[in-house]
Amino acid sequence: MLIAGNWKMFKGPRETAEFCLGLREVELGDADVVVCPPYVSLAVAVELLAGTEIAVAAQNVHWETEGPFTGEVSAAMLRELGVYGTIVGHSERRQHFGETDGTVAHRVEAALAAGLEVIACVGETEEERERGVTEEVLRRQVSVLPDDEGLVVAYEPVWAIGTGKTATPETAQEAHAFVKSLLDRPVLYGGSVKPNNAAELLSQPDVDGALVGGASLEVDSFVAICRATR
């Protein structure tokens, strides 16, 4: 079971070093654990987590290997740093930075081709859920993803990200089962995962782990979620 911590735009190199040193000292249970710092903190995370079972992934990647793409980072650059994988298509990228299904597909394909593992995010907004088009949205978003052993899907209902709202375990299970009917890959749940709801969410038969946001920023809460996989 995979537990990935998406730090978003938190933790520069100093805070990342403190976190990683703390994480090295604790027992994480049976989970496969990944931390996803901002670009500027990837190198220190890779260095301090070397020799552990904890992997380091980026939060985004460009589809070209190099070129005039100001502000972007290529898969080759991430590989050179020693980064294990990357998140692609997070709802915040879609909402704030113009990410589309098409650009998600390009990023996923480039990352996989370069040997990175990929966590590709899908999920509906609250308005789409209220209109009853959740499955239509998920079908469209999943349709651009390849059936590749390096791919993991993260179902993140947009209405549950950073809002304190969480999909019920039954709602999560239903969505995960639908995604798996479209693409036979592991599916993580993302959307206000916390120590007090992780065990119940992770106990669902088609929930293969979690993409954790705010609760991944403190060592104690992140460790509690990792241990909830038992």
Q: pLDDT tens digit string along 173-189?
A: 999 999 999 999 999 99
- The yes-or-no verdict on residue 159 having pLDDT over 90 is no
DSSP alpha helix (H) spans, 98-168: 101-113, 126-130, 134-143
166 pLDDT higher than 80:
no
**Choosing from 90, 99, 124, 176, which is the catalytic residue?**
90
Q: In whole angstroms, how far apart are CA 20 and each of 14, 49, 206?
A: 10, 7, 30
Tell me the pTM.
Answer: 0.95
| Percent of the residues in the chain that have a pLDDT greater than 90, as a whole number | 90
Q: Percentage of the chain surpassing pLDDT 70?
A: 100
Residue 162, pLDDT above cutoff 80: no
Which whole number is the average pLDDT over 116-145?
95
Q: Name the pLDDT band for 13 (thresholds 50, 70, 90).
A: very high
| pLDDT > 80? residue 163 | no
pLDDT surpassing 90 at residue 158: no
| All domains of the chain in start order, with CATH | 2-227 (3.20.20.70)
Q: Is 149 designated active site?
A: no
User: Of the listed 92, 117, 156, 176, which one is catalytic?
Assistant: 156
Which residues have CB under 8 Å from 182's CB, separation 6+?
A: 138, 139, 142, 143
The DSSP H or E segment spanning 35 is strand 32-36
Q: What's the DSSP call for residue 40?
A: G
pLDDT given for residue 19 in this prediction: 98
Q: State mean pLDDT over 17-26.
A: 96
pLDDT of residue 38: 98
pLDDT, average across residues 77-85: 98
User: Which residue did the predictor score with more confidence, 83 or 166?
Assistant: 83
| Residue 65 CB coordination number (10 Å) | 12
- The C-alpha atoms of residue 158 and residue 46 are separated, in whole angstroms, by 30
Sort 223 into a burial class: Cβ within 10 Å, 0-12 / 13-18 / 19+.
buried
Task: Give the separation between CA 154 and CA 89, rounded to whole angstroms.
Answer: 10
CA nearest to 161, candidates 122, 119, 204, 203:
122
Closest CA to 141 of 92, 90, 98: 90
To the query of whether residue 106 is one of the catalytic residues in this protein, the response is no
Task: Please compute the mean of the pLDDT values over residues 112-141 and round it to a whole number.
Answer: 95
Cα–Cα distance for residue pair 165/155, rounded to 1 Å: 15
